[in-house]
Chain A
């Protein structure tokens, strides 16, 4: 499963550690939510980037107190059609201010890329190599968006208001 970041296929720096395996030192690791919550105090004191794989049926609000210690949160799409992690991503980015890496994992296909980017993901564990290669092209497909998202691009309504103001400057001072 190729990993895409910054629109390019990259090596994964992170190691996924099983719940019963020892945690390697000074290596970026991703642990399960269960393990993270059980060993959080020790894990955040450890030397090395820490990521957590968070399931899509658990409130991300639980992660809020720890977000400052996390370099990565991996959210899961068990099936293409199961879109819970889009909401989790936007909550993490927009309400809890998570600034680390937000990785999409699971059934991640080409036709989700644009939605994923707009929901705040910046790391993509892509299922098919051909889709990973088509990443840049896929996310450039749309130039107009009707709603604000976590990617910060201005929606059509805001652009319309700006355009009207530029054409008809207000009367105020």
Chain B
């Protein structure tokens, strides 16, 4: 097991190097000049040349790459050309918002997906199952932005029960300690603000969680159906166990494995989906920041956020794979 983990970590290193090269090449082939973007309307040829020297843009590409790599390995992801703040500290401010959104979506998807999948499997080929299948089909077919706008219209505009967008009512002032808004509101003991933050989270979390919800429902249904046909389930019923006990002790225990795996695999998709969800709901997170950076030609932000995103994605996949090997003793590497 230990050797497997080490082997997987070592295998991830060349991917990260490859990624840094791809992103570096990508940014430096972009049309437009970071130095000119930095200076904006104040750009003169002399100033531009000076900034280019400062940023090292006048050096050969391979030198620039090695410089960049050295900086990244020291945790220096460059500065935003728009406000000259370090990318990493800006990322650290916005990432908690993305994490809260992603976890909210995951909670929604798992909390609803597993019961729906079990329900579908129990009522297989009947009306209930048909409805579950339709829900999961809609989940994968409705784009996040269509669902998000629809939810905004129904719950914020028409019913007026939830806020349209944002992370917290702008009239509430909460000192940023952890940048996790739910935690920060609790830290100052402001229950009203905590509830308000929760209310802001509901619609974006549902919009973002709709695709994982569909996938988790499908997998749970299939996994439960698979296990239900096993001999030991029939034996459990034959010896007179209640349906509930058969379900909990004999079916679900064995159906968990594919479900847990697929839940882990959703996290990457959720981070990607956060880009669009944050844009729809004006959510202050890394995704919206990246989209804005692309529109502003803020190259270093784009380069670094995608790199950090990919790093997180790789780490999550690694944890899922290792967790899988841990959960399934039949897999020996």
A binds B: no
